[in-house]
Amino acid sequence: MKAVFVTGGKQYNVAEGDEIFVEKLDAEVGSKVDFNEVLLVGDKIGTPYVSGAKVTCEVVKHGKQKKILVFHYVQKNKFRNTKGHRQPYTKLKVTKIVG
């Protein structure tokens, strides 16, 4: 069964057994996390959410993604500023979809 749910301001299309990377969550590794903001389950479409539906995931690990470089350049002034950023994430494994 497939589902679409919302977390961290983004929508994720998942099926049971999938592993996904989401914005960092405050949960311990090995714990279960339930998402109730489900937009789509199988052939049911919510307005805006499907009532009684939830996606249960297990937290696999926390980490940071690869560093990206952000440049700020001012033309004709020989000014260039470089900053780096690493976005924290949580890796989840979808264990159950109820809907």
- Encode the chain (99 residues) as per-residue pLDDT tens digits: 899 999 999 999 999 999 999 999 999 999 999 999 999 999 999 999 999 999 999 999 999 999 999 999 999 998 999 999 999 999 999 999 998
Angstrom distance (rounded) from CA 72 to CA 31: 41
Angstrom distance (rounded) from CA 15 to CA 44: 15
Q: What are phi and psi of 31, to 5 degrees?
A: -85, 165
Return the domain boundaries, the chain.
Answer: 2-98
